[in-house]
Structure 1
Amino acid sequence: MGGAARGGGVARGAERAVERRPEEVKSAARALEVLELLGTDGARLSLAEMASAMAVPKSSLHAILRTMEARRWVDVDPSGTRYSLGLKALLTGTAYLEGDDVTSLAGPVLDALAEETGEAVHLGRLDGTNVVYLAKRESRHALRMYSAVGRRLPAHATGLGKAVLSQYDPAEVQRRLDWPLERLTPNTVVDPDAFLAQLAEARLRGWAMDDGENSADIRCVAVALGGGQGGGHGGDALSCSAPVSRMDDARAEEVAQLVTEAAHSLSTLLKRLGQH
């Protein structure tokens, strides 16, 4: 799946290059596009691949990459042909998390939820058509899912994404997502009517489910911050994920209740700070 995501990231980079607004400073926009491309699932790309994705001359891009390498925003491999994110990108990303009130307050809530469920728990944020993991706690079991802070996943195929999207009316959902929806597994819901029906169900019961739609053997339940009441959610949600073998329907209901309580606790903390 990672390889497919990287390819999709390059393609989206090309779209960003085409959509660049005239008032943007060209060199600054290109430097940001480099970071966006390399920030896709740990991508390692060549000069030619990035130039093609961004629709820019290799000579111009090479000068930008040299500057970014000197300032440690990008690294180049020993062969000098493939680029990846540098240390400065990590430091900046860490500073973002440290300065984010939701992330900083979520720590004890995530700890408690992970202890109660024994499974992987996440805090995620809607970012365009994707969800980004802002924080996580590992499962106590040896058999566990792969996830990492900073990872981006299509919102329509994740519990986190559907929990947040369920707070919007159908017209807003249709505006926010890229149609047709990408099928990541045989279980991914891509039919517009079926997907909107899923969101309506999630809205009524207060939690959303990814039933093997992002990774075929993983189930995930998620709750938007704000308890699904349609306001003040800020695009954030909490989730709990586990292999299907440990998450049957009855267990999913139990876990959903625990995630709902955790999301309510975190939302209450945020309201006290005036953040949500």
Structure 2
Amino acid sequence: MSAEPVTGVAVGYDGSREAIRAVDWAAAEARARGTPLTVVHVWEIYIGNPVAMPMVDLGEVAQQTLDGGVAHVHKTAPGLEVRGVLGRGQAAAALIDAGRTADLLVLGPRGIGGFAGLVLGSVSAQVVAHASCPVVIVRGDPEPPPEDGPGRVVVGVDGSPASRAALAAAFAEAGLHGLSVHAVVAWESVPVDDLPPLADEAGMRQAAEARLARMMDALRDSHPGVEVRAEVVHGAPREVLTQAADGARLLVVGSRGLGGFRGLMLGSVGQALVQHAPCPVAVVHAPDDDTGD
């Protein structure tokens, strides 16, 4: 990787159709943020039967792939500051390293594999889990046209530090692009035997709604132009958020949750959404010093 730190928006690129769509999404995001875009390509030689190795300069092919990604940005996003970074080794490790100084990492849902590889079926899970900055997996239609009013940023909330960071990121993204925020708490019914003494499910749900409102008050004040909708929806988190994200520009989730509102256990839910959501998914980590309410 380059000795120069990666700043602004960084996108993983391997020449696949999915990677091109990720580059387009990342370029639009970098332009909106007023930051540079770094296109990262990582290649690795897989040790096997030497006779089966192609008689080509793999490093040269990798450089050509990277140059193609940078050229695509110059063509489709003229005037945007862009540079290419070529890495050799494990794709996940290189991207995680880039995320130490970048503001945002953008990846496609999977890559073409082989030596050119960002094999994002596996790489994305590692990067989402360990990157220091938010990670966007560009799934579905990256920017569907809105039918009524502005487009939407959907955010899953459960009261955990990571979901509070996700909520703040959703407001920032909505303010940047002139979108609305749809904050969703997935509520699963509580078995009677699991209720604490002198508690009832209706009261707990009301408390969840009140807590969500309090969490959003400060963000409403700091983003007065952002339209907001907040709701508690009955159902399993994965299904609730998948349905809510249909037609959205972006779904934002925390990296893991507390189950504080009886749901959004984002260690597993977040991974499921990265694989199956109908729109791009941003995974946000809690600040290291966030200790909660």
Fold equivalence (TM over 0.5): no
Give the TM-score normalised by structure 1: 0.29
Higher relative contact order, chain-length normalized (CA < 8 Å, sep 6+): 2
Between structures 1 and 2, the one with greater helix share: 1
Give the TM-score normalised by structure 2: 0.28
